Each structure stands twice: as structure tokens, then as C-alpha cells.
């Protein structure tokens, strides 16, 4: 990633797609035209000299991960709006970290629902430890299974892990059974004829959510306007579309997703529901127009509620279901063209 514009997280050029795709008559389709407007976010923190890329909340603390800083993250008090400490010194030395992301943790043995991280480059699962003096430490709770090494978008439950490999191995994502070390590779779907092999990794990029208790995996497609519902044995149960034209039209044998696409850029699973952050980008002349939806689904893919948000957001979000609050990071460009990253919260009641 590079900090160039507010769209740095979602810029990708995909070449050599020769098929314009629409839904089929028997495909499930969810109409979002009646989404409830979600206005008046509460501003918590504003950054203009650093880029927050993800957020988690624990009690009165907000944990933010940053891009290209000397430390990976920082802790802020939501009540006082003050920074408490930084953590995760970036480097290759002892105790240092080359880069981490949040790990969706539903594993009873690994401090279920605690704030956990995955260090992709060093293959470690880390848990946050907050000391009485508010000192924040990362504790190595276990080494990563070999199957999880060099992967991202990880979810871990009691018996299963799901993740996506960094390299293009010919599959969309994988399911790893920690009991018998079995790996189930999930093929790219839907099939797009004549797709250049160099384009498929980005074209089929998913955002993953696992609910082992419900027996489901939801894969929200980053650059395609659809989601897949899978059983935990890897069987695709159904695909749900949010628009009739779920992939941008082909122009001159290629698609430039920088100018137009709709997809699921963020995803957040809870025990009851799965929340999908849907981003719709279009370009009129030279102006980029972004529409955003927050979609609440049950684990069978049924729509519970949808919200229409104003503005553009980075993919990282956090849902506090008991308090009906969404924490998100909004990208704002002011009249002087200064770019700000605002940590905000919305009341979902």
C-alpha cells in the first residue's frame, strides 16, 4: 500500500476480462434501494499525518493499526479521547514486528473475543495484554500452523481456520481443520471465461467471515457485487447479488477497477450476524463518487437491515453489537484538498 489518495486501499487494475456479467434469473438478489440513511457520525479521532487502516474496541479502549509507522498500532481512551500508548515496534529484531493484522478470534483456548493479531511474516498468533498502568503488550500465544503461514484475512474458531494465501495458488481461500490438519481449498467462483491468469487473484479477492457454531463461512467479494455463503465443509450453499450488474462492463478487453466497481470492502462477524461494508465507486468526468452501505445479514444470507452511509471508508470496521454501535474510519478530503482519516462511531439503533 502507498498513501497517495484516500482510495489507496482499493486501487487495483484488472486486465483481460472478456465477459460482461449479470445475475441469472434464479440467483438470489437483495435490493438495497430502501436502505435506512445512517447520518451524523460522532467524530472520535482525526488523523492527517498518519493512516489508520483498522480498528478494534475493548471496553473503553480503541486499538488502531496504522500503515507505515514506526509502531504498528496505538491505544486510545474513548472517554478522554487521549492516546495511551503505542505498540508493536516495526523491525526484524527480537521482539519486533514486520506487520500485523487483526485476527478474528472465536477460539475458547485462545482467549475467545480477546484482541488478537496475526504476524504474517513471522507466522505468530499474538494476543493483547493491557497492564494496570495501561502499558500495552503483545504476547505470543502460539506459532502459526504451517497452513496459515503467509496468509491474511484470518478467522480462527475452536476447530477451524479460514484465510487467504498471499500468493496465487489457484484458489479463492482455504479452510484448515486444526484437529486433523486437513485443508480444503475453495475454487474461484463465479467462473469468468477467458480471464487472464494474472488477473484472477485480485478479481476474486474475498473478505472472509467464519461462524463455526452456525456451520457457515461468508465470503464478500472485494471487487464484485456479491457474496457467497459456504458450509464449513467447503460446499457453496448460495451466492447473493446486490445489483443486477455485479461486475463492471468490459471495455477494450480490460476492466479498470479504479474508475468503477462495487464490492464488499469490509466484513465483521458476530455470533448472530455478519456485517458487510459495501463500497460503490463510479466516476463522472474526473470526479469520483462513492456510495457506501452497511449490510446486516444472518448466517444464512438473509437481509436483516441495511444502512446507507455518506462518504468513503477504509475497510476496517468494528461492530459493538450489544451497544448497537459501529466504529469505522472515514476518509474526508476538505476544501483545501487536505486528506483526513476520521475515526467515527454510528448509532445503529
Query: How many other C-beta atoms can be found within 10 angstroms of the C-beta atom of residue 242?
Result: 25
**Is the pLDDT score of 17 beyond 60?**
no
> Do the Cβ atoms of 129 and 140 come closer than 8 Å?
no
**Is the pLDDT score of 308 beyond 60?**
yes
Q: Which value, in Å, is the radius of gyration of the alpha carbons in the chain?
A: 20
158/176 Cα distance (integer angstroms): 11
Q: Which residue has the higher pLDDT, 258 or 307?
A: 307
| Separation in Å, CA 103 to CA 64, 89, 261 | 13, 19, 27
- Segment 106-122 shows an average pLDDT of 76
What string of H, E and C letters represents the secondary structure of 30-76?
Answer: CCCCCCEEECCCEEEEEECCCEEEEEEEECCEEEEEEECCCEEEEEE
For the chain, what is the mean pLDDT?
84
242/226 Cα distance (integer angstroms): 6
Ordered structural domains, the chain, with CATH: 13-347 (2.120.10.30)
pLDDT on residue 214: 97
pLDDT on residue 196: 78
Least-confidence region, from 124-138, 172-186, 216-230 = 124-138
**Is the pLDDT score of 231 beyond 80?**
yes
128/57 Cα distance (integer angstroms): 12
pLDDT on residue 250: 57
Q: Which residue has the higher pLDDT, 322 or 22?
A: 322
CB-based burial of residue 32 (10 Å sphere; 0-12 exposed, 13-18 middle, 19+ buried)?
A: middle
pLDDT on residue 272: 95
pLDDT on residue 149: 73
Percent of the chain residues past pLDDT 90, beyond the cut: 52
SS3 26: coil
- Segment 91-97 shows an average pLDDT of 77
**Is the pLDDT score of 22 beyond 80?**
no
- Segment 8-33 shows an average pLDDT of 53
56/1 Cα distance (integer angstroms): 21
Partners of residue 65 on adjacent β-strands: 54, 73
**Is the pLDDT score of 281 beyond 90?**
no
Burial pattern 328-337, b for ≥16 Cβ within 10 A else e, equals bbbbbeeeee
**Is the pLDDT score of 12 beyond 80?**
no
**Is the pLDDT score of 235 beyond 60?**
yes
According to DSSP H, which parts of 191-279 are helical? 200-203
| Separation in Å, CA 281 to CA 34, 81, 147, 211, 226 | 19, 32, 35, 30, 15
CB-based burial of residue 193 (10 Å sphere; 0-12 exposed, 13-18 middle, 19+ buried)?
A: exposed
Helical (H) or strand (E) element with 306? strand 303-310
Partners of residue 9 on adjacent β-strands: none
- Segment 122-128 shows an average pLDDT of 79
Lookup: cell for 300: 444464512
What is the end-to-end Cα distance of the chain in Å, rounded?
35
**Is the pLDDT score of 298 beyond 90?**
yes
**Is the pLDDT score of 252 beyond 70?**
no
- Segment 172-192 shows an average pLDDT of 93
Least-confidence region, from 107-111, 117-121, 191-195, 244-248 = 107-111
Cis peptide before 179 (omega within 30 of 0): no
- Segment 214-236 shows an average pLDDT of 97
pTM of the model: 0.88
Amino acid at each position: 500500500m502507498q498513501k497517495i489518495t484516500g482510495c489507496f486501499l482499493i486501487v487495483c487494475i484488472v486486465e483481460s476480462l472478456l465477459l460482461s456479467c449479470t445475475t441469472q434469473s434464479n440467483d438470489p438478489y437483495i435490493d438495497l434501494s430502501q436502505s435506512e440513511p445512517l447520518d451524523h457520525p460522532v467524530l472520535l479521532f482525526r488523523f492527517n499525518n498518519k493512516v489508520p487502516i483498522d480498528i478494534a474496541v475493548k471496553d473503553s479502549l480503541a486499538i488502531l493499526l496504522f500503515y507505515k509507522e514506526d509502531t504498528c498500532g496505538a491505544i486510545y481512551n474513548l472517554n478522554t479521547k487521549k492516546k495511551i500508548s503505542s505498540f508493536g515496534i516495526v523491525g526484524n529484531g527480537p521482539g519486533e514486528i514486520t506487520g500485523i493484522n487483526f485476527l478474528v478470534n472465536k477460539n475458547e483456548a485462545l482467549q475467545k473475543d480477546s484482541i488478537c493479531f496475526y504476524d504474517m511474516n513471522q507466522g505468530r498468533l499474538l494476543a493483547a495484554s493491557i497492564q494496570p498502568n495501561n502499558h500495552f503488550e503483545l504476547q505470543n500465544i502460539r506459532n502459526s500452523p504451517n497452513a496459515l503461514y503467509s496468509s491474511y484475512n484470518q478467522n480462527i474458531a475452536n476447530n477451524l481456520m479460514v484465510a487467504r494465501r498471499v500468493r496465487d495458488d489457484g484458489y479463492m481461500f482455504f479452510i484448515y481443520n486444526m484437529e486433523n490438519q486437513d485443508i480444503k481449498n475453495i475454487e474461484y467462483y463465479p467462473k469468468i471465461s477467458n480471464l487472464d491468469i494474472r488477473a484472477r487473484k485480485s478479481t476474486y479477492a474475498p473478505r472472509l467471515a467464519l461462524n463455526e457454531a452456525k456451520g457457515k463461512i461468508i465470503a464478500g467479494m472485494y471487487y464484485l457485487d456479491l457474496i457467497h455463503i459456504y458450509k464449513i465443509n467447503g460446499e457453496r450453499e448460495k451466492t447473493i447479488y446486490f445489483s443486477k450488474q455485479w461486475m463492471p462492463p468490459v471495455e477494450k478487453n480490460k476492466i479498470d477497477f479504479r474508475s468503477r466497481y462495487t464490492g464488499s470492502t469490509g466484513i465483521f462477524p458476530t455470533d448472530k450476524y455478519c456485517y458487510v461494508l459495501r463500497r460503490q465507486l463510479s466516476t463522472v468526468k474526473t470526479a469520483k463518487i462513492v456510495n457506501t452501505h452497511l449490510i446486516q445479514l444472518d448466517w444464512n444470507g438473509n437481509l436483516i437491515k441495511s444502512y446507507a452511509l455518506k462518504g468513503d471508508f477504509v475497510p476496517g470496521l468494528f461492530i459493538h453489537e450489544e451497544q448497537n454501535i459501529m466504529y469505522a474510519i472515514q476518509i474526508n478530503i476538505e476544501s483545501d484538498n487536505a486528506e483526513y482519516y476520521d475515526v467515527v462511531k454510528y448509532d445503529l439503533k
